[in-house]
């Protein structure tokens, strides 16, 4: 049943609408921000990147896809009444759980400490697909903050994206785990395009070194070429913003980390959006929904 419904979504180009339902004016670019291991600052990058894109006139939806261990609400100091868990259980519509964040970004918060969300079922994925289709806000860019690692949820949300940004740190385990993530996505799901950014580095030279080590391994063993999209240096003001449960790009816009991430945001704004045959959120979640548990 789910396979047939997913195929029907795909055949419609991901833009089918029920009578009276609002059609999206523009295709939605889906960007997954992911990592092979935790502790590399991935969630902080995703949230601040969403804010910077919103400041550049983009209508941004930020999805906390670490479905069982919420982080974005903690970083932003918000206490949402409802979250993604309520949507996937069919208790609330997506529009009912979305909260507004800095710069007007739309945030879909995740649950925390809910075991059933650690591995989404096919039913959960189809529910998310339907809710995204019915979401009546215009969105230009959807940023997905995935969990770290290579579990089923991480694979699913990366499969659903037009662009995948893999966040690295100088920690050697970050490199090996990022390589493992790229390997699985390429080998098992035939994904070949990856953007790489370095975080928590001391200099541009260290960022280049971190990237080059990963790029060399990926090219040698996987025959892939990855794209470098920027770096963010270690900055004490980032840690201070986290303590204040605020975005560092909002409260410390002149900080070095903020300026470096702003360059990356500009790069993404100038980069390609959805390809002609990739028409928005729905098609991608439609094609990915057939994987996962019953």
Ranges of each domain in the chain? 26-278
pLDDT of residue 27 exceeding 90, the answer is no
Contact of 204 with 234, CB cutoff 8 Å? no
Instruction: Give pLDDT, residue 121.
Output: 87
Q: What is the dihedral of CA 172, 169, 63, 164, to 10 degrees?
A: -80
Query: What pLDDT score does 5 carry?
Result: 41
Contact 87, 97 (CB under 8 A): yes
pLDDT of residue 26: 67
Among 94-103, 147-156, 266-275, name the one with the lowest average pLDDT.
266-275
Q: 26-278 in CATH: which number?
A: 3.40.50.300
Indicate the average pLDDT of the chain. Answer: 85
Residue 133 pLDDT: 82
For the record, the structure tokens of 83 come out as: 């979250």
Residue-wise pLDDT for 53-64, tens only, equals: 999 999 999 999
* Helix residue ranges, H only, the chain: 2-11, 42-55, 72-76, 84-88, 94-97, 122-134, 152-159, 172-189, 204-222, 236-243, 248-251, 256-270, 281-288
pLDDT at 66: 85
Q: How far is 127 from 65, CA to CA, in rounded Å?
A: 14
For residue 212, pLDDT beyond 50:
yes
Q: Report, as an integer, the average pLDDT of 73-85.
A: 90
pLDDT at 77 over 60: yes
């Amino acid at each position: 049943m789910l396979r047939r419904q997913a195929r029907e979504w795909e055949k419609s180009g991901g833009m089918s609408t029920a009578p009276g339902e609002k059609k999206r004016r523009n295709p939605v670019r889906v960007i997954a921000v992911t990592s092979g291991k935790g502790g590399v600052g991935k969630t902080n990058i995703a949230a601040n990147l969403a804010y910077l894109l919103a400041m550049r006139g983009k209508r941004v939806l930020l999805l906390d896809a670490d479905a069982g261990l919420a982080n974005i609400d903690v970083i932003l100091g918000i206490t949402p009444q409802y979250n993604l868990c309520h949507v996937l259980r069919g208790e609330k519509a997506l529009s009912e759980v979305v909260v507004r964040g800095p710069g007007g970004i739309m945030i879909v918060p995740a649950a925390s400490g809910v075991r059933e969300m650690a591995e989404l079922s096919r039913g959960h994925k189809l529910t998310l697909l339907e809710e995204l289709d019915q979401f009546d806000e215009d969105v230009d860019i959807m940023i997905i903050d995935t969990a770290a690692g290579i579990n089923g949820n991480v694979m699913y949300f990366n499969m659903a994206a037009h662009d995948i940004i893999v966040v690295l740190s100088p920690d050697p385990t970050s490199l090996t785990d990022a390589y493992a993530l790229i390997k699985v996505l390429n080998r098992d799901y035939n994904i070949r395009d990856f953007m790489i950014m370095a975080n928590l580095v001391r200099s541009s030279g260290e960022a280049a070194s971190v990237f080059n080590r990963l790029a060399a391994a990926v090219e040698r063993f996987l025959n892939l070429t990855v794209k470098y999209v920027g770096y963010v240096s270690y900055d004490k003001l980032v840690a201070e913003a986290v303590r204040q449960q605020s975005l560092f790009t909002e409260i410390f816009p002149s900080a070095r980390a903020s300026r470096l991430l702003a360059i990356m945001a500009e790069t993404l704004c100038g980069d390609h959006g959805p390809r002609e045959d990739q028409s928005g959120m729905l098609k991608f979640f439609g094609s990915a929904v057939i994987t996962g548990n019953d």
